[in-house]
Amino acid sequence: MSDDIFITEETIHGDDDGPLAGTTVAVKDNISTEGVRTTCGSKMLAEYVPPYDATVVSRLKEAGATIVGKANMDEFGMGSTTETSHFGSTENPAAPGHVPGGSSGGSAAAVAAGEADVALGSDTGGSIRCPAAFCGVVGIKPTYGLVSRYGLVAYGNSLEQIGPFGETVEDAAALLDVISGHDERDATTHEVPIEDDASYADAATGDVDGLSIGVPTELLEGADEGVVETFWGAIADLEDRGAESHEVSLPSVEHAVEAYYVIAMSEASSNLARFDGVRYGHSSDAEGNWNERFAQTRKEGFGDEVKRRILLGTYALSAGYHDKYYKKAQDARAWVKQDFDEALSEADVLASPTMPVPPFELGESLDDPLQMYLADANTVPVNLADLPAISVPAGETDGLPVGLQLVGPAFGEERLIRAASALA
Amino acid sequence: MTAQTVQQGDLVTVIGLEVHVQLETDTKIFCGCSTDRTDEPNENVCPVCLGLPGALPVLNEAAVEGAVKIGKAIDADIPEETRFHRKNYYYPDLPKNFQITQYDEPICQEGELEVSVEGDRRTVAIERAHLEEDPGSLQHVGGGGGIDSAEYTLVDYNRAGTPLMEIVTAPDFRSPSEVRAFLAKLEEVLEYLGVFDAERDGSLRIDANLSIIPEEEIESGDVTDIGAEALAAANRTEVKNISSHKGAEKALAYEETRQKNAIQRGRAVEQETRHWDESRGITVSMRSKEEEKDYRYFEEADLPPLQVAHWKDEISIPELPSARRERFQDEYGLNEEAASKLTSTKQVADFYEDVASEFDPDLAATWVADNLLGELNYRDMAITDLEGRFEEVTRLVELVAEEEITAKNARETVLRSMLDDEKAPDAIVEDEGLGKTDEDEVQQAVVAAIDENPDAVDDYASGDDGAINFLVGQVMQKTGGSADPGDVNQLLRAELEG
């Protein structure tokens, strides 16, 4: 069962003691590990061994954690099913015959299958929350700038964050305690003092008395009926414990998927330009000048979904189209941020189903990329707004896991952890 | 287009520059790697400057400081906030296949630099100056030597990530000699600021745009005022691979002649990029306009916008050459020529001020501007070759000021020997016996000369005044030529008459 969760099974021991001593961790295979290959689920990097550790990996080692392997993922994080991996798909341990979600599907599956106590994933447009929801575990997408990205192989660098998975909110929060905080190697990180020197794990009290929950109506539209029903059941649970809920509106989110894909693909077209076979990674042995060699290397090394996104991103940034696509998407991003600010002035947290649908069957969505992109409708707005969010199990529909997403204000992770810990 | 004869005098040359200067910082612009030159390829590299997957840039504040200094020196607008962009293109020397640079929010905008061209003062507008990272360097091996014809190409990333400042001028130049004067002046200012090392290979790289415009297109009759329309209508060539101010003048003179010849023969000038081949002294076509690149600029999200307004107030710059030249005239009463020579480099000016603070400013000026720079120039040496020996030169001026040695000996013997033999001034004075002899010593020599030459004394006593010259010669010989012959003559007479 576990043989499809990891791309590379390798034990990396941390320090003898520390807050995570005795804790096993699965690490998504786009997070650099010194001396252990880091493939990003791609043929391009199938044999690439980084000479350095990502900051989060150094912090795991210092905290005494034991890394048990590099988890499977959609190629370069581009997918919501883990099926675009060059190394094959991963079956969902919580829903056999179904995908684990993606792109951090291997990380979520490792926790769901008990292969690791906790896991690290990365979330550019939902890549932690989607697999957490599909595999019935907890996943946190931190505020942009809370966790260092140094060593995370970039896909959409203005959008993504590394974040934790756990079986419980407290487990995930304890991992967040270790990886968060300023890093001199990532200029976008902040030192965020949390109240009373408390830890994120300490915030997992389950106390939701007086919590005000806003439910954006737009994020329920078009969602699967069983998913919506399970969602309201979880909200009712929270209300039983003293929370209240009311409807709020996020009118801009109808443009969020378009804006997200334009920005993520544009950034990807630039971030993935470095894979040319000169310094590392796959290198074509085809004849030709440097330009032809670069092209052939990229043709051989990248899969279809990656090529699709690089081409679309290149197009969106090109002279004559830049204003029509990239600039407009940036305008939409600003609008989405503003909408969240307003909604969060009317509620402590915002709640929605994490995914509008239950897990896909293996192979079901591969042929229709657009359908797959639309499944990200509830998660991508959060990345556009740089906000923190958590996905926590809400129950099941037809035996398939359903996740509840809570979104909070920037650097409001404690609030999300406190609220979500009432459910898991 | 029909062939049309146009007189050479009817054409005006218009040139604008993009000057890349390497900023002198200890470490690279986005990582902690050393910027020291090393012979070992790919030695000063790390995950960041190699563009390894996952590595992130962090801005080196020393590079920003250098940029702010340049901005202040060229009197540019430094905005509240500046930002970095990615310039996307594929090339084997570019580790990430994009360059981190600045686009629409550069750190310096709308500056200027005053230049003296053949006695005229001209102000050159600087449209912008921005920070960026240098790519690595390529070495093409075998074949034709270019990237498309070489057998193989080696890549060295030691240079990758060296901080660069790209300085873009308005099309304000009307001749290659103006360009040369501007570049020399720019280098001087940059060296004064301590942000640039002209001696460093590849520290200055110039791209120049040159167009030829019919004189009647000039609107106001003022040759410096060319309308944007006329400029847009003319085809221009961009000349790349220029690496010195002398090279710029040669390359542009070649290009100016090439374009004028084409126009005179009724041929159109292609809009294209040309490569300056220094060894052959010609420009060669690289690519035409059709192949112009789309760099797909967009914001570099890994580097947050930088608030620079307060840097401007906190960073001070040294007095610049033009201001210092004027102050030297006021404060030390020097003429313009001497003041110009003494402010030619910061080290010369600093040294002059050291000497002038201890001795007479005129004497100091003669010694530093005329004697020292003259002798250095004659030997093709620079002030920098005297590193660590400034105290010796000061000591030499002191010997002259205190009249321990004659000015002539100081200049012709001591200074030259200091430069040629690397000896200290006191040692030279002693070895050559140049010290002015004291009076007792002369008096003793006079007495000895009288004692040893009774015949001459007798001759003098018997009225042969010529005998005194013989005795003077004897005294001079005893004192090694350091006594004053007139003084000796009088001392001898006093002794003989007494």
Local confidence band at B5 (pLDDT 50, 70, 90 cut-offs): very low
- The residue assigned the tokens 């004897």 is B474
pLDDT at position B271, please? 84
Of A98-107, B63-72, B77-86, B471-480, the one with minimum mean pLDDT is B471-480
For residues A197 and B483, the model is more confident at B483
Cα–Cα distance, B318 to B339 (Å, whole number): 17
Alpha-carbon distance A266 to nearest alpha carbon in chain B (angstroms): 9
| Per-residue confidence (pLDDT) for residue A165, from 0 to 100 | 98
Using the beta-carbon criterion (under 8 Å), do B53 and A40 form an inter-chain contact? yes
**Mean pLDDT (whole number) for A190-196:** 70
Which residues does chain A have within 8 Å of residue B58's beta carbon, measured at their own beta carbons? 184-187
What is the distance between the alpha carbons of residues A134 and A355, in angstroms, rounded to a whole number?
8
Q: In chain B, which residues have their Cβ closer than 8 Å to the Cβ of A151?
A: 54-55
Structure-model confidence comparison of residues B34 and A372, the more confident one: B34
Which of B200-214, B359-373, B480-494 has the least mean pLDDT? Answer: B480-494
Q: How far is CA A137 from CA A71, A128, A381, B24, B69, in A?
A: 16, 10, 21, 53, 54
Q: N- to C-terminal Cα distance for chain A?
A: 25
**What pLDDT does A198 receive?**
77
Confidence of residue B439 (pLDDT cuts 50, 70, 90): low
Looking at the predicted structure, is the pLDDT value of residue B6 above 50? no
Q: What are the tokens at B435?
A: 């010290």
User: Least CA distance to B298: which residue of chain A?
Assistant: A317
% residues pLDDT > 70 (chain B): 93
Asked if B223 has any chain A CB less than 8 Å from its own CB, the reply is no
The rounded distance, in Å, linking the Cα atoms of A279 and A285 is 14
Task: Look at A150 and B90 and tell me if their CB atoms are within 8 Å.
Answer: no
Residue A148 has what pLDDT? Answer: 98
Determine which of A118-132, A365-379, B2-16, B443-457 has the lowest per-residue pLDDT on average: B2-16
Instruction: Say yes or no to pLDDT of A353 above 50.
Output: yes
Q: Which tokens belong to B222?
A: 């003022």
Report ipTM for this prediction. 0.95
Closest residue, chain A, to B95 (C-alpha) = A274
The Cα–Cα gap between A5 and A86 comes to 13
**Chain A residue whose CA is closest to B150:** A289
Average confidence (pLDDT) over A370-395: 94
Question: CA of B128 to nearest chain A CA: how many angstroms apart?
Answer: 22
Contact A267 B294 (CB under 8 A): no
Q: Are A358 and A397 in contact (CB under 8 A)?
A: yes
Question: For chain A, how big is the Rg over CA atoms in Å?
Answer: 20
Average model confidence (pLDDT) for chain B? 87
Average pLDDT over residues B130-144: 91
The secondary structure of residue A327, as a DSSP letter, is I
Question: Could you report how far apart the first and last alpha carbons of chain B are, in Å?
Answer: 104
Q: Which of B54, B98, B147 comes nearest A32 by C-beta? A: B54
Name the minimum distance, in Å, from the CA of B89 to any CA of chain A: 9
DSSP one-letter code for A180? B
Q: Does the CB of B95 have a partner CB in chain A at under 8 Å?
A: yes
Query: Of B290 and A355, which is predicted with more confidence?
Result: A355
Q: Answer yes or no: is pLDDT of B194 > 60.
A: yes
pLDDT at B436: 67
DSSP state of A137: -
A326, closest residue in chain B (CA to CA)? B298
User: Is A188 close to B298, i.e. CB distance below 8 A?
Assistant: no
Question: What distance in Å separates residue A252's CA from the closest CA in chain B?
Answer: 23
Look at residue B147 in the predicted model and tell me its pLDDT. 73
Rounded to a whole number of angstroms, the distance from the CA of A242 to the nearest CA of chain B is 41
CA-based nearest residue to B74, from B123, B38, B119: B123
**In the structure, what pLDDT confidence band is assigned to residue B120 with cuts at 50, 70 and 90?**
confident
Which residues from chain A sit within 8 angstroms of residue B296, using beta carbons?
A: 269-270, 314, 317-319, 322
Q: Could you tell me how many CB contacts below 8 A there are between chain A and chain B?
A: 102
- Cβ pair B53:A279 closer than 8 A: no
Reported as a single tens digit per residue, the pLDDT across B242-276 is: 998 889 999 999 999 999 888 888 888 888 888 89
User: Is residue B117 scored above 90 in pLDDT?
Assistant: no
User: How far is the C-alpha of A114 from the C-alpha of A93, rounded, in Å?
Assistant: 9
Q: Please, are residues A419 and A207 in contact by the beta-carbon 8 Å criterion?
A: no
Q: Do A54 and B57 touch (CB under 8 A)?
A: no
CB contact (8 A) between residue B302 and residue A314:
no
pLDDT band (50, 70, 90) for residue B288? low
Asked if B296's CB is within 8 angstroms of A187's CB, the reply is no
Task: State which residue of chain A sits closest to B156, comparing Cα positions.
Answer: A279
> Which chain B residues contact residue A54 at CB under 8 A?
54
Tell me the pLDDT band of A107, cut-offs 50, 70 and 90: very high
In order of their start, the domains of chain B are 8-313 (no CATH), 321-432 (no CATH), 439-497 (1.10.10.410)
Mean pLDDT of A33-53: 98
Nearest to A274 among B56, B97, B294 (CB): B97
DSSP label of A31: B
Task: Please answer yes or no on whether A276 and B90 come within 8 Å at the CB atom.
Answer: yes
* CA dist B464 → B409, B468, B475, B477 (Å): 34, 8, 18, 22
Quote the mean pLDDT of chain A: 95
Q: What is the pLDDT of residue A68?
A: 98
Closest chain A residue by Cα to residue B301 = A158
Least confident of B55-59, B351-355, B432-436: B432-436
Candidate ranges A190-204, A276-290, A329-343, B174-188; pick with highest mean pLDDT: A329-343
A393 contacts: CB under 8 Å, gap ≥ 6: A133, A136, A137, A138, A401, A402, A403, A404, A423, A424
| Residue B59 CB neighbour total at 10 angstroms | 18
Mean pLDDT in residue range A386-390: 98
Region A103-109: what's the mean pLDDT? 98
Average pLDDT over residues A200-210: 96
Which domains can be identified in chain A, with CATH numbers? 6-252+334-420 (3.90.1300.10)
* Mean predicted confidence (pLDDT) in B174-197: 91
Q: Which of B54, B97, B155 sits opposite A273 (nearest CB)?
A: B97
Positions of A annotated as catalytic residues are 28, 103, 127
pTM of this structure: 0.85
HEC sequence for chain B:
CCCCCCCHHHEEEEEEEEEEEECCCCECCCCCCECCCCCCCCCCCCCCCCCCCCCCCCCCHHHHHHHHHHHHHCCCECCCEECCEEEECCCCCCCCCEEEECCCCCCEEEEEEEEEECCEEEEEEEEEEEEEECCCEEEEECCCCCCCCCCEEEEECCCCCCEEEEEEECCCECCHHHHHHHHHHHHHHHHHHCCCCCCCCCCEEEEEEEEEEEHHHCCCCCCCCCCHHHHHHCCEEEEEEECCHHHHHHHHHHHHHHHHHHHHCCCCCCCEEEEEECCCCEEEEEEEHHHCCCCCCEECCCCCCEECHHHHHHCCCCCCHHHHHHHHHHHHCCCHHHHHHHCCCHHHHHHHHHHHHHCCHHHHHHHHHHHHHHHHHHCCCCHHHHCCCHHHHHHHHHHHHCCCCCHHHHHHHHHHHHHHHCCCHHHHHHHHCCCCCCHHHHHHHHHHHHHHCHHHHHHHHCCCCCHHHHHHHHHHHHCCCCCCHHHHHHHHHHHHHC
Question: How high is the pLDDT of residue B224?
Answer: 59
Query: Which residue do the tokens 């190697």 mark?
Result: A185
Local confidence band at A118 (pLDDT 50, 70, 90 cut-offs): very high
**Cis-peptide, bond into residue A103, ω within 30° of zero:** yes
Inter-chain contact A188–B86, Cβ cutoff 8 Å? no
Nearest CA among A92, A82, A9, A11 for reference residue A42: A82
In 3D, which of B244, B225, B99, B109 has the Cα closest to residue B167? B109
Distance from CA of B300 to the nearest CA of A (A): 9
Question: Which chain A residues are within 8 Å of B304, Cβ to Cβ?
Answer: 187-188
What are A274-322's pLDDT values in tens digits? 999 999 999 999 888 889 999 999 999 999 999 999 999 999 999 889 8
Residue pLDDT, tens place only, A217-245: 999 998 999 999 999 999 999 999 999 99
